[in-house]
Amino acid sequence: YNTEVGQEAPVEQVIWEKAMEYCRKLTERERLAGRVPEGYAYTLPTEAQWAYACRAGTTGAYAGELDAMGGYNMNSGITASPVGHKRANAWGLYDMHGNVWEWCLDWWGDYPVGNVTDPDGPNSGTLRVRRGGGWFNTVNDVRSANRSKLSPDEPRSDLGFRVALAPSSR
């Protein structure tokens, strides 16, 4: 928790299972309120979903001008920024480049061979995917295509999560 940023701080220092627990509880609460379509649930995005959302229809290393969109080691003041402090990408998503890494649903593994659309990650593993880069990372680490792995039970001050609404059959 960053006391300078306060309530606008990104969620950080959360392990993968606690992020998933949050998604399960959010789904339950929103279903009771009638705000989740039948057959859908809140979850962490898959790695493919995360990358697609980050790029927002672009093909470059960043979904726009990096200094305006992302918090990384050269412009962050070496701390997390308030959520939404930087410019959103073309689809209105904030903080996709930098600020804090974000857990993905997938286990870490090699990419599939050949062209695929919305691939699923491995069915098991020991490490989970994280994407986006953090406030102390370099410009290379906050690229749309950069990926990293981490033990799912390791909380870090530069690691949080983003919620996605997806078909619950996934």
- Residue 170 confidence (pLDDT): 56
**46 neighbors 118 (Cβ within 8 angstroms):** yes
Quick one: which of 130, 132, 144, 148 has its CA closest to 15? 130
Largest CA distance in the chain: 46
- CA-to-CA dists, residue 52 to 94, 95, 98, 118, 166, angstroms: 14, 14, 16, 9, 14
Query: How confident is the prediction along the chain (170 residues), in pLDDT tens digits per residue?
Result: 444 556 788 999 999 999 999 999 999 999 999 999 999 999 999 999 999 999 999 999 999 999 999 999 999 998 999 999 999 999 999 999 999 999 999 999 998 888 888 888 999 999 999 999 999 999 999 999 999 999 999 999 999 999 999 998 75
- Give the model confidence (pLDDT) of 60-95 as tens digits: 999 999 999 999 999 999 899 999 999 999 999 999
- Residue 132 confidence (pLDDT): 98
| pTM for the structure as a whole | 0.93
